[in-house]
Structure 1
Amino acid sequence: MQVQADAAGRDSPQAPGQLWRELAASFRNPEFWLLSSWLDILVRSRRSYLGPLWLLAPTATYVFGVGAFFAGMHGTSMQQFAAHVGLGVIVFRTLMNALVTSSGVFTSSQSFIMDGHTRLTDYVLQSIARTAFDLLVSLPIIAAALVMHGGVDVGGLLLAVPTLVLIYLNVFWIGVAFALVGARFPDLGQVLVNVSTFLFLLTPIIWYASSVPPGSIRARLMVLNPLFHFVELFRAPILEGAVPMQSLWVVLAMTVAGLSLATLLYRRYARFVPLWI
């Protein structure tokens, strides 16, 4: 792994701070961040009988376990509710994992950074690659839930591809921003882990957004929750055949503002990371 880190860092700048230039260099040399993220998954599961197939367990539990349990509470069948839960949970997990893992990515890579591998975008992409692998492994479960649902909009499935691109643009700026803040404040990861439960319950994954009374405090909190808009933008076109325009504009605004913020933060604070960790 050390050899890979050295090879990937040969063309890295001496003083980090140019986010997009370093990102381009990371994409030209994917050996470190892409392979190491996959190897990390394999190492974690090498002692188990099912190996990487254990990555299916969380999504399967939510889709067929939690989905079946809460379907009756909403007066719908498990086949209908499983797709609702599945599409919501993969978006939520992708964004929440990006928040939590990125907050400690520089600290966990301290040995590489202190050894002179200063292209910090490699570590951010390493964190993002792990979430991407988790998403890819979960797709068979989601496909099974959509087949059970039956009423899937084909146009919505096609829109899922650019929506995922938009989601991962936000995952990137979240990774950059929270990695920098997490390097300065190591307790950030623990805060996010505890907040994640509240955010999960606040996001309409195991319940329908239409069940919330309009104008209520719950409705206001739901709309103020950014994760709600990401979930709706991905799920609504597939299950309902309509693009929620409010969520689309919110996500687009967050993408532009977030990428701008990440660029500024990286230019200002990336050089301090070796000192903070």
Structure 2
Amino acid sequence: MSRSLVRDYRDSLRYPEFWIYATWLEIVTKYRRSRLGLFWALMPPALYAFGVGGFFSYIQGQNPRDFIAHLGIGYIVFRFITVSLSEATTACTGHASFILDGRVRLTDYVLRVVAKAMFYLIVSLPVAAAALAVSPQFQWMGLVTLLPALLLVVLNVAWMGAIVAVIGARLPDVHELIGSILMISFLFTPILWHADQTPADTLRGAIARANPLYHMVEIVRAPLLGEPIERLTYVYLATMLVVGGLLAAWVYRRFARYVPLWV
């Protein structure tokens, strides 16, 4: 029997007990034995924003107060996306016992991965707030668009996560492939550099703008720092959501029923 991606996501959101509790339990068991606890979750964004950001700002001759916010926000959004997609590749195989026991609503396992990544994003908010507080570019009006922009990012992550979860159940090597692609994509995402350093009418700019993470980071960060958002970003993300969502729905309907056999 074929399954519907939209229906399964709807049911997962209507009955979130499994993936919310599983996420909470994983986080609690990971940090409860540590003396510093959740402080360790703050370390990566803090080190990137104020450590790497300060270092690269001097290398590039930029104002550290501006670049720290640029890098900090970019890294936090980038980490949310990459953690979600990387762990989604093993979402089904990691829950094989549940799937073989008859729990075949695969969106529960994708949402567990996304919820975990969202937890780390929320924990990183104090770092983001500190970085924005020292930035003279910070625009309060950017907070108005923050939630809609994050929602757009989450929706795109949701359909991509569904695809890589199904494919990852069939091809375990997809985990390594996605990890390598995401690692390379860091260089083509404006985190250590600014978007205006690669104009759209240049080859470098065209290559960078072909990267979906470029637009997913910019849609969140640019309004907060008073930077313009290119029209291409709106078109790219809207098209990606519609076309990608349709593709994910087809892949899920066609292949999700085989996952219990693959895991």
Q: Which whole-Å CA distance do the structure 2 matches of 1:247 and 1:87 have between them? A: 17
Partner of residue 237, structure 1: 223
Which residues in structure 2 correspond to 1:78-157 (within 5 Å)?
A: 78-157=64-143
Deviation at 1:276, TM superposition (A): 0.9
Question: Gapped runs of 5+ residues in structure 2?
Answer: none
TM-score (norm 1): 0.90
Deviation at 1:213, TM superposition (A): 6.2
Encode CA deviations 1:56-84: one digit per residue, 9 max, x unaligned: 11111110111011001222122111100
CA contact (8 A) 1:17 1:266 kept: yes
Partner of residue 209, structure 2: 223
Q: Which whole-Å CA distance do the structure 1 matches of 2:164 and 2:112 have between them? A: 14
Q: Which whole-Å CA distance do the structure 2 matches of 1:215 and 1:155 have between them? A: 29
CA contact (8 A) 1:22 1:121 kept: yes
Partner of residue 244, structure 2: 258
> Percent identity over the alignment?
42
The 3-state SS of whatever aligns with 1:232 is helix
For residue 38 of structure 1, what is the amino acid of its counterpart?
A: W
Aligned residue pairs total 263
Deviates more, 1:256-265 or 1:193-202: 193-202
TM-score (norm 2): 0.95
The 3-state SS of whatever aligns with 1:154 is coil
Is 1:57 the counterpart of 2:29? The answer is: no
Q: CA distance change for structure 1 residues 220 and 243 in 2, over 3 Å: closer, same or farther?
A: closer
Which residues in structure 2 correspond to 1:203-222 (within 5 Å)?
A: 203-212=189-198, 215-222=201-208
Deviation at 1:267, TM superposition (A): 0.7
For residue 262 of structure 2, what is the amino acid of its counterpart?
A: W
Note the aligned Cα RMSD (angstroms).
Answer: 1.5
CA contact (8 A) 2:83 2:117 kept: yes
Is 1:36 the counterpart of 2:17? The answer is: no
Deviation at 1:195, TM superposition (A): 2.5
Deviation at 1:215, TM superposition (A): 4.7
The 3-state SS of whatever aligns with 2:129 is helix
CA contact (8 A) 2:2 2:254 kept: no
Encode CA deviations 1:157-190: one digit per residue, 9 max, x unaligned: 2111100010000011011111011111101111
CA contact (8 A) 1:236 1:244 kept: no
Deviation at 1:216, TM superposition (A): 4.3
Q: Which whole-Å CA distance do the structure 2 matches of 1:251 and 1:20 have between them? A: 19
Deviates more, 1:161-170 or 1:112-121: 112-121
CA contact (8 A) 1:98 1:131 kept: yes
Question: Gapped runs of 5+ residues in structure 1?
Answer: 1-14
Is 1:183 the counterpart of 2:169? The answer is: yes
Deviation at 1:225, TM superposition (A): 1.0
Deviation at 1:196, TM superposition (A): 2.4
Is 1:246 the counterpart of 2:257? The answer is: no
Q: Which whole-Å CA distance do the structure 1 matches of 2:14 and 2:221 have between them? A: 33
Deviation at 1:27, TM superposition (A): 1.6
Q: CA distance change for structure 1 residues 16 and 65 in 2, over 3 Å: closer, same or farther?
A: farther
Q: Which whole-Å CA distance do the structure 1 matches of 2:29 and 2:204 have between them? A: 42
Q: Which whole-Å CA distance do the structure 1 matches of 2:42 and 2:191 have between them? A: 18
Structure 1 stretches of 4+ with a deviation exceeding 3 A read: 212-217
